[in-house]
Homo-oligomer: A and B are copies of this chain.
Amino acid sequence: MKKIGILVSALIALLLGGCSQSSKTSTSSSPSKSSSSYQITAKSNNSQYQTVINNGSYLTSKSRGVGISQNSDNLLNLKSFESGLLQLSKSKFSTSDYIFREGQILSKATVENWLGRQSKSNSSGLNPENNGQTDPNKRNPIYVQQLEEQDYMKQKNGKLTLSGMTIGIGMNHKDYYQKEQYGATYSTTISKAKMIEEGRLAAAKVLQRVRKKVGNNVPILIAMFEQAPNDSLVGGSFYSYAYVKSGSTISTWNDINLKSYIMPATSTNSVPNDNDETSFESFKKQVQNFFPNLAGVTAQAEYDNKQLQGLHVNITTQFYSETEIISFTQYLAQAARNYLPSGIPIDITVKGSDGTVQSFLAKTAKQTNYYTHVFSSY
């Protein structure tokens, strides 16, 4: 937290305000590798990438919106997919060396074709052809559900050069389908082994196709994601990645053991570490005792194997006055400090019974005290 506010530097003066004066104009023989008139955002935080502004506007992804149409039944999958992808990228393309650019290599049509089935009109489809069957176990399921490109740029001689790339591929463990339009929804369950196998085949094809567009020497991180079922309360999770420095062969797949859980645990969904669950229950109890209107207290927990990585806590209760919200928020800052696990990033969002956000607390992994904010009104 302290770093925010310190790191915003002279860059700001350069990059905003008189943007046209400080823009760096460049031309390039390969428009896919650089942009012609760009600025980058100021650094606001060491843990976040600077991003690309093109002619005063944010450079959005060429395949913008494809993920949403592919994930309309469980938008948590999209959220998990994107935040996880960004997190993984940071381990290979550091935020201090690279500038983030929304995917500019793969167009919307390209991604949509790749995510489609093989057919006469779509030879690039990564999913098998429709075999005409409607039985869950006889039909060819959709294995590859979503795909996202992220570009990592370096600034050289006033030009932004593509210097890294991340491709996330979302795989179905369950594929949902209708036998007839507007009909009931059925599902084909895909075994984990089959999902992993199909994912590797798809990744190999994607890598070869992308290499044709960006050349052999851009490092490419390919990350495989398992979509959560539609009724899941958490999004899916990444299960493996391959980092291909050059060339179009994937030699090594590495396991990823990040997984999301919901607290409090239920019989069908227990968290990997009982101590964390105990801490959370103590916190929950303190919070619920404090306030006469029963507060709903839940959390999203992220684990790497058995190691808790972070918590998003959600609290819902009914308030009767602003002073109640302020006092409750102060109390939460104490209770969270005393009862929730230390050494991980935690944020707490407090909502009223009508769903509007009333206050918010957050700490980074290193901090012990919470930043607090109460949303007020004049």
Contact = CB atoms under 8 A, between A and B. Distances in A.
Q: Which of A148, A300, A375 has the most CB of B within 10 A?
A: A375
Contacts of A83: 322, 376-378
Q: Which of A42, A58, A355, A370 has the most CB of B within 10 A?
A: A58
Contacts of A16: 286, 334-335, 338
Q: Which of A286, A292, A333 has the most CB of B within 10 A?
A: A333
> For chain A, which range describes its interface: under 10, 10 to 19, 20 to 34, or 35 or more residues?
35 or more
Contacts of A323: 51, 82, 86, 100, 102, 150
A49 B331 CA distance: 12
A190 interface: no
A204 interface: no
Nearest to A150: B323
Contacts of A67: 320-321
Nearest to A349: B375
B378 A334 contact: no
A327 B53 CA distance: 10
B378 A290 contact: no
Interface stretch (A5-13, A112-120, A214-222, A266-274): A5-13
Interface string A343-364: 0000101000001010010100
Interface of A: 1-2, 4-6, 8, 12, 15-17, 41-42, 44-45, 48-51, 53, 56-58, 60-61, 64-65, 67-68, 76, 78-80, 82-83, 86, 100, 102, 148, 150, 234-235, 260, 286, 289-292, 300-302, 310, 312, 320-324, 326-328, 330-331, 333-335, 337-338, 347, 349, 355, 357, 360, 362, 367-373, 375-378
